[in-house]
Amino acid sequence: MNQLPELTHDERMVALEKAKAQREYVYSVKKAIKSGEMKFSQAVGDPKVQRTRVVRLIESCPGYGKVKSGRLMDEIGISRNRRVGGLGKNQMKSLVDVLG
């Protein structure tokens, strides 16, 4: 089995800070989508958002909750656990056409 590399305390703290900054950034993007400050198409084009699950971004759009976002993903043919960076061209185009 693969073993994880041993990190020093300082390396671990740097990694935790980096992860926290990433989470805060994605939260700010989702908040901007919800308030209308940012369009969905801008968010999915952001390289820092590529590792975010698609369903989380759709749910941040006004008028979309868990059920409606799930239906949309099923209609387009996107798996529920797909991340933004893993979308194909046609899937991305379909989402942007619907969500703006």
Helix-strand-coil percent breakdown of the chain, rounded to 5? 65, 0, 30
Q: What is the CB neighbour count within 10 angstroms for residue 38?
A: 17
Domains observed in the chain: 14-99 (1.10.8.50)
Residue closest to 58 by CA, chosen among 69, 48, 50: 69
Res 72: pLDDT: 93
pTM beyond cutoff 0.85? no
pLDDT tens readout for residues 47-56: 999 999 999 9
Tokens representing 46 are 């952001």
Residue 69 contacts residue 57 (beta carbons within 8 Å): no
Q: What is the average pLDDT score of the chain?
A: 91
Instruction: Provide φ and ψ at 21, rounded to 5°.
Output: -60, -40
